[in-house]
Amino acid sequence: MKRMKKGKGIAVLIAYVVIIALLGYYALGVVRATMKGSDDSLKLGLDLAGGVSITYEVVGDESPSQEDMDDTIMKLQQRIENDLGDDTTTTEAAVYQVGDNRITVEIPGVSDANAMLEELGTPGQIYFIAQTDADGNTNYTYDSTSGGYVLNYDLDTLVENGSVIMTGSDVASANAAYQTNQTTNASEPIVELSLTDEGTEKFATATTAAAAAGQSIGIYYDGEFVSVPTVNSAITDGQCVIEGMSDYDEASDLASYIRIGGLDLELEELQSEVVGAQLGSDALETSFMAAGIGLLVVMVFLMFMYLVPGVVASLALLLYTTIMLGILNAFDITLTLPGIAGIILSIGMAVDANVIIFARIKEELIAGRTVANAMDTGFKKALSAIVDGNITTLIAAAVLGVIGSGTVKGFAITLALGVVISMFTALVITRILMNVFYALGVHDRKFYARMKHADGYKMRKFVEKRKIFFAASALVILAGFFSMGFHAGTGDKALNFSLEFLGGTSTTVTFDQEYTLEEIDSEIVPIVSEVTGDNDIQVQKVDGGESVIFKTKTLDLDQREELNTKLNENFGVEESNITSQNISSTIGSEMRRDSLIAVVVAALFMLLYIWFRFKDIRFASAAIIALIHDVLVVLSVYALARISVGSAFIACMLTVIGYSVNDTIVIFDRIRENLVGLKNQDEASLIEVADRSISQTLSRSISTSFTTAVTVLMLLILGVSSIREFAFPLLVGVLVGTYSSICLATELWFLMKLHIKSRVKTSKKTSKKAKKTK
């Protein structure tokens, strides 16, 4: 590579410092604005900042069935994600049942309830109405005064006489699209409809009659006609196209009306309000503080361990941080607790990429190369491990983002964004800055690596201890399953599921004065916790009022009465100002199923990629088994410590998956390199290769684990109780991910390699003997 001259190096360094200063000033402004809750702040989720809560009630006197309520909740969640999902705000929305006939929608990052109500629309029924009834009477006519179509009869009459040919429940899907005009070849916006089997049959009959008479079919929603298309021909296959849209927005709106009109129940707004953060008032402040201190500790560690390259990595990490904050703010990406997990993981990967590069440079220096040549060769040799590790994580993020929903999708977005930025800072910025320092005259080898061993590493024996490692892992996992079985057998839950998974009781209390979130956390929450016997309490303060919502585990009648008594004794709250209702889980069966499918598919794609890149299924199989091990160990920690299992549990597991595979790939990349030219691949040779590969990458594994763990540890030390419940298993996941990569994945690969090779040899020998016998 052509070397940079000193003058250019000075100019580049000055320019970089100026850019960092400007971006840093902007990033600090974003942090300050976020802390104050001003307009220029980051968009935060319900857990960190609150949002809008809208409660709907089912129209009608009869109580709806649970199946209808579940279906309506699922469709409403899909409606929010599909139609309002321009960013991660609506992927983090919560939809859950309240009581027997109410549904609450909570959307983060929104401060105007009326605007959100208008955008969301009124979830109700949509009707497809024939132009004339069976007797030839016109069901609707055009009103020149209002400029639209109006009904000539009320809806009940039209339903009774059969003029309502179908409703929204007969529509399987509705999407805006473009089609090419056969005459002009111009692209025209349309709405594509797919009908259910029952809807297909109804529509075929209605459109056959309408097409023969040259009539239209009106689409009626929320008290008005949203479209009155003429039927050109009979539609018998259940696939329909609505034309005549003025632009794509009109087509998108119509498709949205049809989708939300397909809810199983008709809903009406009962109340809407702005609510506060679920994790408490201090969660955001302590998270920022933990991130800042963690970042500072990581930078000091890098500079101490890697000298000049450590300084370079620290400067690149500063750029990563400012770019990440800038993009989160610029694109209004909602930041939640799972999102923070994704960022923590990507920071670890950003440091990891730099450490891999520096380790390679150190090896080249030990081999006797000049600093300049060592830098060039080091970057080239580090490239495959960095690319493979990051692409594997990106594959997981992509699958989780496409298939997953809710917190899974939010995690995937921040993780993918972080990985891309970290690759850029490590492969581009770090290289430029390394050349800058070299151009400035930093040529002495002692500034680029600490030479403790002649080979750059101390040879350690891991493979021979594999039985100890396997036994230790099995013991922890079995202990976790024993704990789950014991609790399940005694009538308790196998895991300590939070109200996000199981549902619970929502208690709305109207006090005689307005309390701050700090006062609620310190004075009222302990009393609620005393009654419930549980610390899993979500608090939401209604903006601009004296009402506070407490979400707890399900309370029986005695507990509700005890809570009412204590609130009256301590705060003078009358029983008439306390209302309690059971609520369903916010993480429904649909989200749990989507999350599980997303994780399985992500693991499958990672396996295929590792197989493709390493040309050996044994590498891929060992990596996936190690990944499953990490998940099971963290699950055991949740079971043994009885940590609350909620949305943070999903984020924690996803982080472990991303971290574990990336860590393993770095060691496998070194094994692949060390196998080149090894002709005699017997047991002793394979053990030597495995041990040498682990030893060569051990410093990197420990450094990456330390830098990632430090950030999580700061959350554990400084965070509020809900943050600590998330940070502890995440810390365990980071440590166990490093352990499995060093002590399990390579040993599993060795056993597979040895077993398959031994079997092939035996097969060949048997074949030769058979030939001689003949």
Which region among 243-257, 416-430, 586-600 has the lowest average model confidence (pLDDT)? 586-600
Give me the percent of the chain exceeding a pLDDT of 70: 86
- Tell me the pLDDT band of 722, cut-offs 50, 70 and 90: low
Q: Say what angle helices 283-330 and 407-424 make with each other, to 10 degrees.
A: 70
At 766 the pLDDT is 44
Lowest mean pLDDT among 116-125, 168-177, 189-198, 351-360: 116-125
Query: Which of 127-141, 573-587, 589-603 is least confident?
Result: 589-603
335 or 688: which carries more pLDDT confidence?
A: 688
Q: What is the pTM of this model?
A: 0.69
Give mean pLDDT, residues 63-74.
Answer: 79
State how far the Cα of 421 lies from the Cα of 429, in Å rounded to an integer: 11
More confident residue, 93 or 681: 681
Predicted local confidence at residue 768, as pLDDT: 46
Task: Report the side by side order of strands in the sheet with 171-180.
Answer: 171-180, 187-195, 239-242
Nearest to 525 by CA among 491, 504, 501, 551: 551
Q: Six-digit token pair at 391?
A: 């692409």
Q: For the chain, how far is it from start to end, CA to CA, in angstroms?
A: 63
Determine the pLDDT at residue 635: 92
Closest C-alpha to 89, from 256, 333, 276: 333
Q: Give me the pLDDT at residue 462, please.
A: 93
Total residues belonging to the chain = 774
Rounded to an integer, the average pLDDT of 224-249 is 89
Of the two residues 774 and 596, the one the predictor is more confident about is: 596
The DSSP string of 113-167 is HHHHHHHH----BEEEEESB-TTS-BSEEEETTTTEEEESS-HHHHHHTT-EEEE
**Rounded mean pLDDT, 248-275:** 76
Q: What is the pLDDT of residue 278?
A: 58
Select the more confidently predicted residue: 407 or 11.
Answer: 11
pLDDT at position 642: 86
Find the mean pLDDT for residues 202-211: 93
Confidence of residue 247 (pLDDT cuts 50, 70, 90): confident
Both structure tokens of 596: 């599980």
Half-sphere exposure of residue 118, counting CA atoms within 13 Å on the CB side?
A: 5
Residue position matching structure tokens 């077993």: 755
Helices (H), 331-425: 337-366, 371-403, 407-424
| Top-confidence residue, 380 or 257 | 380
Mean pLDDT of 377-404: 84
Instruction: Inform me whether the pLDDT recorded for 771 exceeds 50.
Output: no
More confident: 769 or 91: 91
Calculate the dihedral angle through the C-alpha atoms of 589, 595, 598, 603, rounding to the nearest 10 degrees. -130
Secondary-structure percent of the chain, ordered helix, strand, coil, rounded to 5: 60, 15, 25
Lowest mean pLDDT among 371-375, 430-434, 591-595: 591-595
Report the pLDDT value the prediction gives residue 643, as an integer from 0 to 100: 83
Say what the pLDDT of residue 396 is. 79
For residues 145-156, average pLDDT? 89
What is the per-residue pLDDT for 266? 74
CA distances from 731 to 91, 344, 655, 737 (A): 26, 11, 10, 10
Q: Report pLDDT for 129.
A: 94
> What integer pLDDT is reported at residue 282 of this predicted model?
64
Interhelix angle 617-641/466-489, nearest 10 degrees: 40
Average pLDDT (730-753) is 91
CA 274 to chain centroid: 24
Give the tens place of pLDDT for each residue, 542-590: 766 788 888 888 888 888 899 999 999 998 988 888 888 887 776 656 6
Highest mean pLDDT, choosing among 339-343, 574-578, 654-658: 574-578
Q: What is the structure's pLDDT at 428?
A: 92
Mean predicted lDDT score pLDDT of the chain:
82
Which of 280-294, 640-654, 667-681, 699-713 comes out lowest in average pLDDT? 280-294
| Percentage of residues in the chain having pLDDT higher than 90 | 26
Mean pLDDT over residues 186-204, rounded? 91
Question: Do the strands 267-275 and 504-510 form a parallel or antiparallel pair, or are they unpaired?
Answer: unpaired
Which run of H or of E encompasses 58? strand 51-58
Q: What is the structure's pLDDT at 392?
A: 85
For 341, the token pair is 């997990």
Bigger pLDDT: 5 or 42?
Answer: 5
- Work out the widest C-alpha separation in the chain, in whole angstroms: 102
Structure confidence by residue, pLDDT tens digits, 269-312: 777 766 666 565 566 777 778 888 888 888 999 899 888 999 99
